[in-house]
Amino acid sequence: MNKIVNNVVILGGGTAGWMTAAALSKVLSNVKVTLVESEQIGTIGVGEATIPTMQFFNGLLDLDSHTFLKHTRGTYKLGIQFENWAAQEHSYFHAFGSTGRSLWAAGFHDFWRKGLELGISDNFSAYNIEAVAAGANRFAQSKNGLNYAFHLDSSLYAKLLRSVAEKQGVTRIEGKVAKVNCDAGTGFISSLLLESGEHVAGDLFVDCSGFKGLLINETLKVPFNDYGQWLKCDRAWAVQTKTSNTPVPYTRSIAHESGWQWRIPLQHRMGNGIVYSSQYMDDDTARERLLSTVEGELITEPRLIGFKTGHREQLWHKNCVAIGLSGGFIEPLESTAIHLIQQGILRLIKLFPSQGIEQLDIDEFNKSGMSDYQQIRDFIVLHYCQTQRDDSDFWRYCKQMEIPESLQERMSLFRKTGRFIVRHEEIFVDSWLQVMIGQGLIPEKYHRIADEMQAHELKAFLDNIVSSHHRQVSALPEHQQYLTRYCQ
Ligand SMILES: Cc1cc2nc3c(=O)[nH]c(=O)nc-3n(C[C@H](O)[C@H](O)[C@H](O)COP(=O)(O)OP(=O)(O)OC[C@H]3O[C@@H](n4cnc5c(N)ncnc54)[C@H](O)[C@@H]3O)c2cc1C
């Protein structure tokens, strides 16, 4: 167990594998990193929307946003427009960045809620500058400016990461793993035997082999914690189309009777997909629905992807760390998978077993990893259970299902009291308020501090935020203009 780790082997060359290789080789220059991948198997080839934390990962690799978007032909993302979620023909915006201005001890939403009662509040997102900029299709990057993430072409991203990683000394081996060898005493993985007959030995193995989890699942048999009772979607079709429209700086998520569709605008094309529950919609109907609603000529054939929602009960077991789809997956509604990959990598770097593998490190890694999954699970379930939709069996199930206790507590507290408590190391903070309110969860009460402001003062305060956002946004260039200038 306490063998010094000098030799890391990564199995898999998808987004997870190359992100891990690029990051480890950047910060642990005295550790040998080898990546094994099989072109014959290929990668999943989706995963094109992100959240703002990706900027930190790019920073770790010394990639500035302009260079990153040039290489991945990506665009900026200020948030997600949710259409037909709370009810049909209803839409709201989940933007990055906070809404309104904090005042005294209460949250902005308390003042907004009081304004609602007085009939002087606008939509919650009118007080969020990222949402206003997205609606106006405008964008610019500046210090202390808009909060943003990216849309990217995943195959170009993998290429970019590979070139970064190889320059930093990562060895890539092309080949298919035929057998995984384990030590008979400890059960630790000792080497990968490739179909070519080559043995790839290592001290620590990172499983980035995708959904099947060749090491963590098929070899080490770590059980799966299934979230299927709360998140019914388990299949997707993905297709790319040509686009003649200028790209908007946000993702569209359009609910349908058994799931939802995504539209992710890139510089050169549109990424489209339909996500659905196979219990409520068959594959042919879903394919048909996707093809009848996409805009522009198809560039690829539609591809069917099945998935299971949940995560391994341990993400690090013995000398194997699972990063990416091998560790778990929560449907892509809030674009969190690349973020989870990044979290796994940063955690591995922090707890890197230079002096040998310690159970305490493993426990810490697993505890924090589980907490990430649970937080994201609750946030995604919120979109389904808080709805007025009851037009299909799927939505009726979602409305009535028993939800996780942690989510129930958070929603009840907000509904009854208007209080929103930020817990330890939350990934989403203001996002919770935007989605709860966007989905129609309006608190029954507001904090008494809001009563310290007279109605006319409150109106001036609220109107001032809206007009200031409009003023600032109208001074920004159009998103396309900005991309043409800096990112092409
Ligand atoms: C429908 C859908 C939409 C998504 N959208 C988003 C999104 O918008 N945003 C987001 O952040 N994420 C999204 N994701 C998730 C995202 O696609 C993945 O997290 C990301 O691509 C990482 O995948 P991976 O590298 O873990 O696996 P993969 O891409 O599947 O890579 C697996 C690698 O393992 C290799 N391999 C497997 N077996 C062997 C073997 N026996 N021998 C050798 N090599 C082997 C393969 O060759 C490949 O290189 C989405 C996922 C799905 C299913």
Residue range 112-117: mean pLDDT, rounded:
97
Q: How far is CA 278 from the centre of its chain?
A: 22
Task: With cut-offs at 50, 70 and 90, classify the pLDDT of residue 102.
Answer: confident
**With DSSP H G I counted as helix, E B as strand and the rest as coil, what are the percentages for the chain, rounded to 5?**
40, 20, 40
Indicate which atom in ligand 1 lies nearest the CA of residue 37.
Answer: 44
Span 232-250, average pLDDT: 95
Least reliable range by pLDDT among 110-114, 166-170, 241-245: 241-245
CA–centroid distance, residue 293 to ligand 1 (Å):
26
Structure tokens at 404: 């996780």
Tokens of 70: 């040039």
Give just the sign of the alpha carbon dihedral 362, 19, 44, 262: positive
In tens, the pLDDT along 187-198 reads 999 999 999 999
- Ramachandran region, residue 18 (left: φ > 0; alpha: ψ -120 to 50; beta: rest): alpha
Q: Is a pLDDT exceeding 90 seen at residue 354?
A: no
For residue 328, report the distance from its CA to the centre of ligand 1, in Å: 11
Active site residues: 77
How far, in Å, from the CA of 324 to the mean position of ligand 1?
7
Q: Is the CB of 265 under 6 A from ligand 1?
A: no
CB of 43 sitting under 6 A from ligand 1:
yes
The residue type at 100: G
Instruction: Check residue 12 and give its pLDDT.
Output: 98
Predicted local distance difference test score (pLDDT) of residue 1: 58
Residues 435-466: pLDDT tens digits? 999 999 999 999 999 999 999 999 999 999 99
Closest C-alpha residue for ligand 1 atom 35: 12
Atom of ligand 1 nearest to the CA of 325: 26
Nearest atom in ligand 1 to 307's CA:
53
Domains belonging to the chain, first-starting first, are: 7-48+153-225+312-375 (3.50.50.60), 235-306 (no CATH)
Q: Crossing angle of helices 393-400/359-385, nearest 10°?
A: 120
Out of 44, 155, 261, 303, give the residue to mutate to test ligand 1, the one with the largest number of ligand atoms within 8 Å of its CB. 44
Reply yes or no on whether the pLDDT at 422 is more than 90. Answer: no
pLDDT at 125 over 90: yes
pLDDT tops 70 at residue 211: yes
Ligand 1 atom 27: the closest Cα is on which residue? 210
Q: Please, which pLDDT band fits residue 115 given cuts at 50, 70 and 90?
A: very high
The predicted pLDDT at position 144 comes to 79
pLDDT at site 392: 98
pLDDT at residue 2 is higher than 70: no
> Does residue 242 have a pLDDT over 90?
yes
Residue 104 has pLDDT above 70, yes or no: no
Check pLDDT > 80 for residue 308.
Answer: yes
For residue 164, what pLDDT is reported? 97
- How far, in Å, from the CA of 245 to the mean position of ligand 1? 29
Ligand 1 centroid – CA 336 distance (Å): 13
The SS3 of residue 423 is: coil
Candidate of 9, 10, 15 to mutate for ligand 1, largest count of ligand atoms within 8 Å of Cβ: 15
